[in-house]
Structure 1
Amino acid sequence: MELNGIKPAAGAKHAKRRVGRGIGSGLGKTAGRGHKGQKSRSGGYHKVGFEGGQMPLQRRLPKRGFKSALLKFNAEVTLGDLEKLAAAEVDVLSLKQAGLIAEIAKVVKVINTGTLTKAIKLTGIGATAGAKSAIEAAGGSLV
């Protein structure tokens, strides 16, 4: 391969549409804008979602739902994740360092997914009822 032989892939480049360059080009006179009307004029257009004065779809539909901005500070850890973690004592900082939760997380909760066989002491971490019983059955504790 030579630098002077490099070409773009076939069909990757195409000629720019040159409007208003005579009748023979196929885009002369009205330049592909049709006759009259708002869209034929320079600067004439409408805002996104405008339906000619009819009540727009986004205003006809009811507002629904709510997503709390505080959810981004919550994180979940499974029992399977704790099993893989090579630590006897686990806190929020150690989970962040292990990459199991996001750096932004403040509230962490253990959920009952997977199995736990080793005893782990959890500090400052919550757990669901099923996860709590599984941790205590393995000889661990929640503080």
Structure 2
Amino acid sequence: MKITPIGESSQIIEFNITLPSEANVSIAPISTLTATQRWAAMATNNGEYTQITKLDLIHTLQYTDCKGNVRVLTNTGSTIIALAPTASATIVPANIKIDKAVDIIIPNGISIINQNSLNELPTSLPVKGSCAYSVFELHIPTTTPVP
């Protein structure tokens, strides 16, 4: 799992998973990412408060192996994300939004994914693959206070 911050209260989370049995690249995988708030704490700087939130992550990947069997893998992890600064010291539950960007099985022999690889997947031929690649954007939208 690789986490890349992309702005205030936003991260890109990548999963590059070696599969225990070879997958059929012609059948797209299905993956989900669930984020649950474990804890939160407030940091203060010159009267502004920033909520620091720890999220537990569960990534579930469903793929079809070359024998036609549906397989499911689950990976767990965690991340820490800061919410937008506020004038309030009150901890609030994080309103987590997750958008999937990429979900593919990488064919054997391809070591670097580029735009051409993404455009060709899934393939129409039953090619074998031993690695799955999923990318999600996780963000916590800022809330506008009610007047």
Which has the greater radius of gyration? 1
TM-score, L = length of structure 1: 0.17
TM-score by length of 2: 0.17
Between Structure 1 and Structure 2, the one with more strand by share is 2
Structure with the larger RCO, 1 or 2 (CA within 8 Å, 6+ apart): 2
Bigger helix share: 1
